[in-house]
Amino acid sequence: MEGDPTLRLRVFDLNCWAIRYLSKRRQERVQLIGDVLRREGFDLVLLQEVWSERDYSDLKAKLGGCYPFSHYFRSGVIGSGLCVFSRFPILDTLLYQYSLNGYPYMLQHGDWFCGKSVGLVPAWGGHGRFALPSCQLHAEYCREKDAYLPHRLVQAWELAQFIRHTSKAADVVLLGGDLNMHPEDVGIRLLRGWTGLRDAFAEATRFEGCEDGCTLVPKNCFTVKSELLPFPLGIRIDYILYKAVSSFTVKCEELKTTTGTAPGMDIPFSDHEAVMATLCIRRQGQAADATLGTSEPMLADVVTEARTEVGVGLRAAQRQRYSTGRMAVLALLLLLVQAAAALGALAGLAAGQPFPKLSFSLLAFLAIGVLLLATGLHLFHTIEVKMLQGTEEQMRMALRALQERP
C-alpha cells in the first residue's frame, strides 16, 4: 500500500451449505460458486460449510489461476467447513476450536460433530498485513427457547478474545462468517463491542441486495419457509466485519448481497445469501488508537447481559451433570445388587426360586449400558460446566477491567 496509497479490497463471504448427501443440488451449486468466483475475481473469499474436502479440492483446482493462495481448515469429525481463497500470499494459519459446541447426543443438530472453529489466515496484501478470521458459530434452532444460547455466547466471547489477542500483528482485521446471530443479539453486540470490529452493512456508503441486508430470505428456494415465518423479510446472520489496527483506515464503500438467486441464474449459491464488500483501505499518517467498539458503560452492560446468559447455561449444565451422575450411581448400585444376588445363587445361599437367567442377563446388560452412557454424559457435562465457569470468570475479569478504567 506504499506506492498507491489506497487499496480497494473486494471480499466475498458465503455459507455454502455443501453437506454431502444432504444439501440439495450441492455439486451444481459448488460448480456455480466456482464459476462466479473465477469470473468476478475478488481479492479474498471466505467460505463456510464446505464440508467435503473434495469440494474444496475442486474449487482449488478451478480457482488456482485467479486465487493462487488458499487454505482448508480441518477439525472435528466432519471438519470445520472453513476455507479461504486469496489473491494475496497466505503467510500462515491458526485454527482455534471453540471449547463448547453443542451436544454429541443431539445427532439431529450435528453441530458437535463439526468442530466449529475460527480459522485465522494472516495474508500480505500490498504493503499491509491482513488478519482474516473466518468462522461459523453454533446454529440457532429455536429462537424462542434457544438451548444453545450459552454455547453460542461462549463461542462469541472466545472469538472476540481470539481476535483481540491475534490481531495485533495485523494492519487490518477482516472477519467474515455465518455468526448465526441477528444484528441486535447480545452475542453480536459483545463481539463488536469487545473487539471494535465494525459491521460492513451498517457502515457501507452504498448498499444493494436484500432488504435490511438479510442473508437468509424466504425467496431463496432452499430456505425452510416455516422457520422464517416470524421474519417476513428474512434474517441477517452472515457478516463481514472489519477494523483497522495500526496506521490504516478502512471504509466500506459498497456492500452487496445476492437476492435469492445467484447473479444471472435461476438457482441460488446456497440457502444463505452471499455477502460482498468493497473496502477502501488507506494508510494514515498516525497510528490509530486501539479502541473498544462501544462506549465503556454500554459495553459493561453488554458483558453483564452475556454473563447472565452464560450463568443460566451454567446452572442448566450443573443440573445435567448432577442428574447424569446420579443415573450412573444408580446403574452401578443395580449392578452391585445383581452381582451380590448372582454370587449368592452360586454359593447356594439363595432361598426359593432364582431369577430367570434371561431376564437377569438382560437387566445386567441394560445396567452396564446405562452406566457407560451416564458416565460419558457426566464427563461431557463436567467439561461443559468447567468451560462455562471459565467464560463467566473471564467476563467477570473483563467487567472489573472496564469498571476500573479511568
Footprint on this chain of its own copies (rule: CB under 8 A)? 71, 73-77, 79, 90-97, 99, 113, 115, 120, 122, 161-162, 164-166, 168-169, 357-358, 361-362, 365, 368-369, 379, 382-383, 386-387, 389-390, 393-394, 397-398, 401
Question: What does each C-alpha distance from 12 to 16, 73, 144 come to in angstroms?
Answer: 12, 18, 31
Q: Which three cell numbers stand for residue 159?
A: 472469538
CB closer to its own copies out of 18 and 131: 131
Q: Which is nearer to its own copies, 76 or 126 (CB)?
A: 76
The catalytic residue among 71, 138, 151, 272 is 272
Q: Give the residue from 303, 12, 355 showing the smallest Cα distance to 186.
A: 303
Neighbours of 243 (CB within 10 A): 23
Select 295 or 361, whichever has its Cβ closest to its own copies.
361
Shortest distance (Å) from residue 345 CB to its own copies = 15
Q: Could you write out the three-class secondary structure of 212-249? A: HHCCECCCCCCCCHHHHCCCCCCECCEEEEEEECCCEE
Quote helix, strand, coil % in the chain, to nearest 5. Answer: 40, 20, 35
CA distance 111 to 182: 19
Nearest CB to its own copies, comparing residues 211 and 393: 393
- Sign of CA pseudo-dihedral 266, 267, 273, 278: negative
In angstroms, give the least distance from the CB of 164 to its own copies.
Answer: 7
Question: CB of residue 133 vs its own copies: minimum separation in angstroms?
Answer: 11
List, in sequence order, every residue forming a beta bridge with 249; answer none if it has no partner: 282
Handedness of CA 317, 140, 189, 155 (dihedral sign): positive
Angle, CA 350 vertex, CA 346 and CA 353 arms, to 5°: 110
Name the minimum Å distance from CB 158 to its own copies.
8
- Would residue 272 show up in a list of annotated catalytic residues for this protein? yes
Taking the complex as a whole, how short is the minimal distance between the CB of residue 119 and its own copies, in angstroms? 10
CB of 33 to its own copies, least distance (A): 22
Phi, psi of 218 (to 5 degrees): -60, -30
**Taking Cα atoms as reference points, which of 129, 34, 42, 48 lies closest to residue 89?**
129
**Taken in order 289, 89, 200, 161, is the CA torsion positive or negative?**
negative
Q: Alpha-carbon distance 296 to 402, whole Å? A: 6
Shortest distance (Å) from residue 392 CB to its own copies: 10
Q: Which is nearer to its own copies, 228 or 306 (CB)?
A: 306
| Cα–Cα distance measured from residue 148 to residue 123, given in angstroms and rounded to the nearest whole number | 33
Least distance (Å) between residue 254 CB and its own copies: 31
Query: 267 vs 399, which CB is nearer to its own copies?
Result: 399
DSSP string, 125-187: ETTEEEEEEEEEPPP-S-STT-TTHHHHHHHHHHHHHHHHHHGGG-SEEEEEEE--S-TTSHH
SS3 of 272, please? coil
Residue (75 or 220) nearer to its own copies, CB:
75
Closest to its own copies by CB, 233 vs 364, is 364
- Residues acting as catalytic residues: 272
